[in-house]
Amino acid sequence: MRVHAWYRALLLAGLLLAVALALISVHLRLVNSGLGCTDWPDCYGNLARSAEFGTAGPFKELAVRAHRVLASVLGLLVLAVLALSLWLRVLRVPAGLLFGVMLLLAALGRWSAGLNLPGIVMANFAGGLLMIALLWFLWRSFFTAEPAPAAAVHRLAGIATVMLSIQMGLGGLMSAFFAGLACGPAFDCAAPWSPGIPLEVLSGLFRPLELDATGRVLISSDLAGLHMTHRMLGFALVPVFCALAYLLARSRRRALAVTMLALTVLSGLGGVMTVRLALPPLMVLAHYAIALGLLLTALSAWHTGSAACDQTGSTRAAQ
């Protein structure tokens, strides 16, 4: 088997592991924050009881062990990817960046259970997304080169990718600050709010969350604005992705268009049901998984296969 085939197999394995690791990490975060706890919603965000929530969480011990094993295996795969990139002299910059992100996440691992440190939660969240995106980019680069997409498709796919990345970041902020119930089930938000991300929220990334006498996170009224910004951007994303799916269909990329349209509908419905049903943990996890899939479809629409293996026909060949 040719060396680049091994490289592509490593990238696919790494991508699948990174996605599984991200889903397990989000599951553990949701369980430890109190979603689905027995005396909901009073127990939500009660850090003094986070160990209790973790013990009561479904498959908690198995999830923790799986997270550790997958993280270790993924680290070895990323190291192998970097070594092959340097040897084959292809895609060295993204492979090096992937290795750097992996080192950062490993360094943050000792604080990953710190629910009262929003900055650490966000760094792990963003690092996981970046690692998945880099692995996807590297893997797609080894496909046969595709015709360059129309300028309109390329431009709109870039806009959709940026918007969805911001939207997922807002979701991460809501989780980091325990803002899931800041608005309640009402679509117009039951609390007073103004759109935008309050500066108090961003500055709070770098200090521990404030707790009340019972150990529960104090929910600032500013978080209602963060919650509503997430909702409004979600509504704005629907026509953007529908338009992108239409352009993809016209460009004869119908499979990608249908996938994108289906994920857009599922993401919208999942967001609405998550709000209306007061954050059931499995639905929140599914909402994240669908958003992750949608992000990868947007990246696929934007990225054209560079056929890195074809560009290196003179590189070291098969073993």
Structure confidence at residue 314 as a pLDDT band (50, 70, 90): very low
DSSP assignment, residue 205? Answer: G
The answer on 151 and 137 residing in a single domain is no
Residue 159, pLDDT above cutoff 60: yes
3-state secondary structure 105-168: HHHHHHHCCCCCCHHHHHHHHHHHHHHHHHHHHHHHCCCCCCCCCCHHHHHHHHHHHHHHHHHH
Residue 109 and residue 15 in one domain? yes
Q: Could you give the angle at the alpha carbon of 159 between the alpha carbons of 157 and 163, nearest 5°?
A: 115
Residues 167-199 pLDDT 10s: 999 999 999 888 888 887 767 776 666 655 666
- Please choose, from the candidates 19, 30, 54, the residue with its C-alpha nearest in 3D space to the C-alpha of residue 175: 30
Specify whether the CB–CB gap between 8 and 274 falls below 8 A.
Answer: no
Q: Let me know whether 232 and 158 are in one domain.
A: yes
Count Cα atoms within 13 angstroms, Cβ side, for 54: 16
pLDDT score recorded for residue 150 = 79
The answer to whether the beta carbons of residues 81 and 11 sit under 8 Å apart is: yes
pLDDT of residue 296: 95
Do residues 127 and 185 both lie within one domain? no
**Are the C-beta atoms of 33 and 50 separated by less than 8 Å?**
yes
Are 71 and 183 in the same domain?
no
Same domain, 22 and 112: yes
**Is 314 found in the same domain as 299?**
no
Calculate mean pLDDT across residues 275-302: 92
Tokens of 289: 């998984």
Per-residue tokens: 220: 């600032």
Interior/surface letters 164-181, b for 16+ CB within 10 angstroms, e for the rest: bbebbbbbbbbbbbbbbb
Question: How many structural domains is the chain composed of?
Answer: 2
Query: Is 124 in the same domain as 231?
Result: no
Domain that holds residue 208: 147-303
